[in-house]
């Protein structure tokens, strides 16, 4: 058995969580069209006959000023230590190589880095060649894999590249584990995912979700959660006219939970609270699960 850890790094929105879900053929990490979806390192564990690859999905790297931004940056960079390989994703449809090069040069790790140029479905081959050339000029010896991960294209090549780097000889996790995150964590992430889909980005980006009750009632799950927003005006937006928006978020989240867990969710009650400035207050960050800011 070969086993080991592979960190997935890159700027926000390049498709890191999409990669991990595609590798597992199962959603373990939330995905959205908006940047800064993932906030913590999340494991996606792929166990096959003679290999176990533990992928670390990480928050997109950007240099925001809130303490919440520090938590996300720290989760990403610390994931790159003590792994066997790093997969660094770039979005072919949104190229800004100067920024990527700055991030790549600040990754302090002994592990080999494989570049993946994702979303090649969005560009023509000529543009692709030009981008590949620019990356090769800067890093002549590093392999680059072209991918369209939304369409499962490039998965085999990424797997083939990382497997030889795995240094473990026994599985790190039980065979039937797909992720290290419990149902509470998954529930809060699913609620955040639906907020990212239905609301303009400023609102979900400055919100957090905390599960306040998680019970099994007659074989079905009954969940209560608190949605913390940054402003009173955001509270009104999340609740919507006559409660229409919060109902929409709750229904979509319930459906997603049932699909993911194969269990009935009989109720999902969401309460909304405004806590101006929570993203920079240590007490709130700790309570909401983002306490590791490195300070
Ligand atoms: N066109 C296209 N879109 C893709 C591809 N892969 C991912 N996406 C889309 O890109 C968006 C971002 O994907 P995510 O997987 O959430 O990206 P991420 O890198 O995890 O983002 P953060 O968590 O914010 O850092 C989603 O809308 C995906 O559906 C691809 O190959 N082609
Ligand atoms: Mg993500």
Which residues, in sequence order, are CB contacts of 126 under 8 Å at separation 6+?
none
Residue 2: pLDDT band (50, 70, 90) is: very high
Question: In this structure, which ligand is nearest to the CA of 15?
Answer: 1
232 C-alpha vs ligand 1 centroid, how far in Å?
31
CATH H superfamily, domain 2-165: P-loop containing nucleotide triphosphate hydrolases (3.40.50.300)
Residue carrying structure tokens 């800004």: 96
**Digit-coded pLDDT (tens) for 161-198:** 999 999 999 999 999 999 999 999 999 999 999 999 99
217 C-alpha vs ligand 2 centroid, how far in Å?
32
pLDDT at 78: 86
Task: Identify the residue whose C-alpha is closest to ligand 1 atom 9.
Answer: 15
Q: Which fold has domain 183-287?
A: GMP Synthetase; Chain A, domain 3 (3.30.300)
Encoded tokens for 244: 């229409």
pLDDT at 295: 63
Task: Identify the residue whose C-alpha is closest to ligand 1 atom 5.
Answer: 150
Which of these, 21, 18, 26, 20, lies nearest to 5 by C-alpha position? Answer: 20
pTM: 0.96
Indicate whether residue 78 lines ligand 1 (CB < 6 A): no
60 C-alpha vs ligand 2 centroid, how far in Å?
7
β partners of residue 225:
211, 270
Domain boundaries, the chain: 2-165, 183-287
Indicate whether residue 94 lines ligand 1 (CB < 6 A): no
Indicate whether residue 150 lines ligand 1 (CB < 6 A): yes
């Amino acid at each position: 058995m070969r086993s080991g850890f592979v960190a997935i790094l890159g700027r926000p929105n390049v498709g890191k969580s999409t990669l991990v879900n595609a590798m597992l053929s199962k959603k373990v990490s939330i995905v959205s069209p908006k940047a800064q979806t993932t906030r913590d390192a999340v494991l996606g564990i792929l166990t096959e006959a003679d290999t176990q690859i533990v992928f670390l999905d990480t928050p997109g790297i950007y240099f925001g000023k809130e303490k919440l931004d520090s938590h996300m940056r720290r989760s990403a960079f610390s994931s790159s230590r003590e792994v066997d390989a790093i997969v660094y994703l770039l979005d072919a449809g949104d190229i800004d190589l100067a920024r990527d090069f700055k991030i790549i040069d600040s990754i302090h790790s002994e592990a080999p880095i494989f570049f993946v140029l994702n979303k090649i479905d969005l560009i023509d081959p000529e543009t692709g060649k030009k981008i590949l050339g620019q990356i090769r000029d800067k890093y002549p010896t590093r392999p680059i894999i072209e991918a369209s991960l939304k369409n499962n294209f490039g998965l085999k090549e990424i797997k083939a590249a990382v497997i030889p780097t795995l240094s473990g000889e026994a599985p790190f996790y039980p065979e039937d584990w797909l992720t290290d995150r419990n149902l509470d964590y998954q529930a809060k992430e699913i609620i955040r995912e639906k907020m990212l889909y239905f609301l303009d980005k400023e609102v979900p980006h400055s919100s957090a979700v905390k599960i306040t009750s998680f019970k099994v009632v007659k074989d079905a799950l009954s969940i209560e959660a608190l949605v913390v927003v940054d402003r009173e005006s955001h509270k009104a937006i999340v609740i919507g006219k006559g409660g229409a928006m919060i109902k929409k978020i709750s229904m979509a989240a319930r459906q997603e939970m049932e699909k993911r867990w194969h269990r009935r969710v009989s109720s999902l009650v969401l309460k909304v609270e405004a806590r101006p400035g929570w993203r920079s207050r240590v007490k709130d960050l700790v309570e909401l699960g983002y306490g590791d800011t490195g300070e």
